[in-house]
Amino acid sequence: MSHMQSDEKWRPFDKQHKTEVMGIVNVTPDSFSDGGAYNTVVSAVDHALALVNDGADILDIGGESTRPGADYVDEAEETNRVVPVIEALVEKTDRPVSIDTYKSKTAEAAVNAGASIINDVWGGLYDPEILDVAAATKAKLIITHNRKDRNYTDFMTDVCEDLRRQIEAAKKRGVQKEQIILDPGVGFAKSPAQNIEVIRHLDDIAVWG
């Protein structure tokens, strides 16, 4: 299995001085925010470059909507949507490119095309082989808090424990701590009140380093 070493495109976060802005490019017909608006390679690339011009530090490319009730997109179709966009962007901008996927084969193809970040809304829970892709390619891995239900005993305690388990699963498959970025999962398996609570308690997660 041949992988591009993706860390060469990555600029480390300047966490002391600047909040990094991620520009979202949905190459999908049904995203909740801009579905269909950038559903061709040319329009998606043009939109991404406009986001860079507006100040985006990272470009996040998605080929399947994560909105509730969205249609499932298989790996082949998702890959066909995102790879040409990623290939074009790594030629046209030095901004790091992120692939928004929870499927390992799409992640592998995206990293080989030039993406340096894997943004998995399931944090390795849906397709654990995505952790192997991150380990092999050294891509950054965004681990999002998510679960199939909202059956929390103590909300923030459970969120932190869920994330700890996801981190440990990634490390067991060879992902290094330095590769991992944590996403508290606002909007995933949480009520509106719980979304606000997790935002208010970001320090409980950030303290892990």
Average pLDDT of the chain to the nearest whole number: 88
Residue range 122-143: mean pLDDT, rounded:
98
Which amino acid does the sequence have at 56? A
pLDDT confidence of residue 1: 41
How far is the C-alpha of 39 from the C-alpha of 29, rounded, in Å?
6
pLDDT confidence of residue 36: 44
CA atoms within 13 A on the CB side of 78: 23
Four-residue CA torsion sign, 72, 78, 81, 87:
positive
Q: Where are the alpha helices (DSSP H) in the chain?
A: 41-53, 75-92, 104-113, 129-137, 155-172, 192-200, 202-206
Q: Is the pLDDT score of 33 beyond 50?
A: no
Angle at 42 between CA 59 and CA 49, to 5 degrees: 35
How far is the C-alpha of 36 from the C-alpha of 54, rounded, in Å?
21
Q: Is the pLDDT score of 6 beyond 50?
A: no
Q: Is the pLDDT score of 9 beyond 70?
A: no
Q: Is the pLDDT score of 38 beyond 50?
A: no
Task: Determine what percent of the chain is predicted with pLDDT higher than 90.
Answer: 76
pLDDT confidence of residue 163: 97
